[in-house]
Amino acid sequence: MKPMSQSTMHEAEYYEIIDESNKVAQCQLCPIRCTLLVGERGKCFSRVNIEGKLYSLTYGYTDMKIDMIEKQHVYHFFPNSRVQTFSTFNCNLDCDYCSMPEKLGVDPSEVGAKKLAPDQAAMFSMASGSKVIAFGEAEPLISFEWVRDTAKLAQQRNLKVLLRTNAYFCEEPVSEILEFVDAVTIDIKSLSDSGYQEKCHAGTINDIKKTIKLIHEKGKLIELNLAIHEALGNTEEETRELATWIKEELSPSVPLHLARLIPSHRLKELQPTSTELLEKCYEVAKDVGLEFIYLDNVPDHEATNTYCPNCKELLIHRGASDTEVRRVSLQGNCNKCETNLNIVFK
Ligand code: SF4
């Protein structure tokens, strides 16, 4: 490992020195709460104790691209819009089916990653003509300080902010960052602690549900994703459990995405989820009474469209490469029967 230069690093927030004489730090960004001796890095590889101060190794390091918002598996926030997406480095989970394993356990300064100051990131987003700035793909909250600083500037410049996260973070930093965020999409990995431990090697479902409720209570638009596959232990029973929890604890109008697993990383030998299993899970969520259920990674399937939960009219059609908003008002209501659709356009 090369010696680390403090001048290129940013002091982390949300940590405490728990042993002054030995300069031992405890990170309090996520519930893992790593205890770090001098020179040690956290489980996420992004935070390091240097002489009793915790530093972020990933502040400002990011990939960026412009995409349609639907590519982020977000269907109720500015449908059919271009979004400037920033994808940072590292994660506090270590999922066996991670779609970006090349971004795990990386010191971005050692792999030639691009570095952007928050004002540069906000300026790029404005210049791109996007209405929305998104932080996602790799876990953005591992780079909490940079994402918070950038989101704040983006909002000041009238951009909307979308966050895609695994939600396994502590209440205080989540509450702080939500002040600068308009919508959140959350990838739920399992409905049990054993599922999180076996397939993602960290995480507890209660911590994640607590974060989701907090985001909902703060009035942010939420969309939830669950990857369906027998090998993940996510099938009809788990879909029923999650859909029931959404209906009872959040709202039946919270969109639920049931995603086909595209095998990758340590599970790349698996077959993708069958359409038959996805359709069974879709019917289960419908039976529970959720109003907006989508199948993801199943191009051209009718369950990628938005229908009015009241009059059943087809309102937004999603093809493999394009989205057509047909009968939704700018206020997010069905143009035929005026039912509110929990869709944001402005
Ligand atoms: S954010 Fe990283 S260093 Fe901090 S507790 Fe979580 S895994 Fe550990």
Tell me what pLDDT residue 111 has.
87
247 and 272 housed in the same domain: yes
Domain carrying residue 82: 63-325
21 and 157 housed in the same domain: no
Ligand 1 atom nearest 32 alpha carbon: 5
Tell me what pLDDT residue 159 has.
97
How far apart, in whole angstroms, are the C-alpha atoms of residue 137 and residue 65? 11
* Alpha-carbon 33 to chain mean position: 20
Low-confidence ranges of the chain (pLDDT < 70): 1-8
Q: Tell me, in angstroms, the distance from the centre of ligand 1 to residue 63's CA.
A: 21
Residue nearest to atom 6 of ligand 1 (CA): 30
Tokens 């937004």 locate to: 316
Tell me what pLDDT residue 314 has.
97
What are 91-147's pLDDT values in tens digits?
999 999 999 999 999 999 888 899 999 999 999 999 999 999 999 988 999 999 999
193 and 175 housed in the same domain: yes
Residue nearest to atom 4 of ligand 1 (CA): 27
What are 10-47's pLDDT values in tens digits?
999 999 999 999 999 999 999 999 999 999 999 999 99
Residue nearest to atom 2 of ligand 1 (CA): 44
Q: Tell me, in angstroms, the distance from the centre of ligand 1 to residue 91's CA.
A: 9
The answer to the question of residue 342 being in a domain is no
93 and 45 housed in the same domain: no
How far apart, in whole angstroms, are the C-alpha atoms of residue 144 and residue 29? 8
Q: How many CB atoms lie within 10 A of CB 217?
A: 10
DSSP state of 198: H
DSSP state of 31: T
122 and 220 housed in the same domain: yes
Q: Tell me, in angstroms, the distance from the centre of ligand 1 to residue 92's CA.
A: 6
Tell me what pLDDT residue 7 has.
56
Ligand 1 atom nearest 14 alpha carbon: 4
* Alpha-carbon 303 to chain mean position: 22
Q: Tell me how far CA of residue 29 lies from CA of 3, 8, 152, 209, in angstroms.
A: 25, 21, 19, 17
* Domain count along the chain: 2
240 and 219 housed in the same domain: yes
Closest-CA residue to 36 (of 22, 24, 45): 24
User: Which two three-digit tokens encode residue 205?
Assistant: 């479902």
Q: Tell me, in angstroms, the distance from the centre of ligand 1 to residue 44's CA.
A: 6
The answer to the question of residue 77 being in a domain is yes
Closest-CA residue to 201 (of 87, 98, 103): 98
Tell me what pLDDT residue 98 has.
95
How far apart, in whole angstroms, are the C-alpha atoms of residue 308 and residue 328? 9
Residue nearest to atom 5 of ligand 1 (CA): 33
